Homo-oligomer: A and B are copies of this chain.
């Protein structure tokens, strides 16, 4: 039977912010493009690891956000890594279409400083 919540060994290593979230960086697995940053709680990380679809916690809507469910711009998960402090997740994905809601390929394309 599929585990219903995050593996306790992973959960024990996670360092969450006061809202119970960690930042998750989405990166295109083959080109290396940094696509976006979103947030995960334990359940979003569990779903990301078990469903193959990058799943975040929407802080504005206060609900799970399966990337692409509305836009079609799905992220197929290739690998997931925790950083050395356990407070950031790196999700390598295959991004369908644009990662950014503005239609740009990445959320960092439009506003280069200096």
Interface residues of A (CB under 8 A from B): 10, 13, 23, 25, 27, 31-34, 36-37, 49, 79-86, 88, 90, 100-102, 104, 107-114
Contacts and interface: CB of A to CB of B under 8 A. Distances in A.
Contact of A25 (B25, B102, B111): B25
B114 A49 contact: yes
Number of chain copies forming the complex: 2
Contacts of A33: 32
A111 B23 contact: no
Given A25-B25, A81-B111, 16 more contacts: A23-B37, A32-B33, A34-B34, A34-B90, A37-B83, A37-B88, A49-B113, A79-B112, A81-B112, A82-B108, A82-B111, A83-B107, A83-B108, A84-B104, A88-B108, A90-B108
Contact of A113 (B31, B34, B82, B110): B82
A98 B114 CA distance: 27
